[in-house]
Amino acid sequence: MLKLSSSFDVQIKTLSLFGFWNPRRNYYYFLYSIFMWIVFVCLFISFQIIFIVTVSKLSDVSAGLYLTVSEIFCVVKLIHLQINRSKIEKLFAILDSSLFQPQSPEELAVLQKAQWRAKWLTRSLYICCPFTTAFYAISPFLANSRSTKIFLSAWYPWSVNNTTAFVLTYLFELFGLYVCCAYVMPCDTIIYCLLILINGQIERLGVRLKELGHVKPDIFRNTIEDQEKINVDKYANELSIRKGSVFYGEIVKCIILHKKILEFVGELQEIYNNIIFFQFAVSIIIYCMTGYEIIMLSTSGINVVTRLLYMITVLVELFLLCLTGNEIIYTSRTLTNDVFSCDFHKFDKKTSNVLQIFMIMTKKDMLVKGNSFITVELSLNAFMQIVKLSYSFFAVMRSMQE
Q: What single-letter amino acid sits at 295?
A: I
> Is the separation of the CB atoms in 384 and 392 below 8 Å?
no
Query: 341, 349, 334, 339: which is closest to 248 by C-alpha?
Result: 349
Query: 174, 128, 390: which is closest to 283 by C-alpha?
Result: 390
> Is the separation of the CB atoms in 301 and 169 below 8 Å?
no
Q: What single-letter amino acid sits at 154?
A: A
Q: What single-letter amino acid sits at 398?
A: R
* Eight-class DSSP state of 364: S
Side-chain-side CA neighbours of 360 within 13 Å: the count stands at: 6
Concatenated DSSP letters of 159-211? ---SHHHHHHHHHHHHHHHHHHHHHHHHHHHHHHHHHHHHHHHHHHHHHHHHT
With a CB cutoff of 8 Å and minimum separation 6, the contacts of 362 are 258, 332, 335, 336, 339
Instruction: Give the largest Cα separation in the chain, rounded.
Output: 87
β-pairing, 369-371 vs 375-377, is antiparallel
The ranges assigned to domains in the chain are 4-400
C-alpha distances in angstroms, 376 versus 262, 284, 325, 361? 19, 14, 11, 23
In this predicted structure, what is the pLDDT of residue 193?
94
pTM here? 0.90
> Is the separation of the CB atoms in 74 and 188 below 8 Å?
no
Under-50 pLDDT residues of the chain: none
In this predicted structure, what is the pLDDT of residue 91?
94
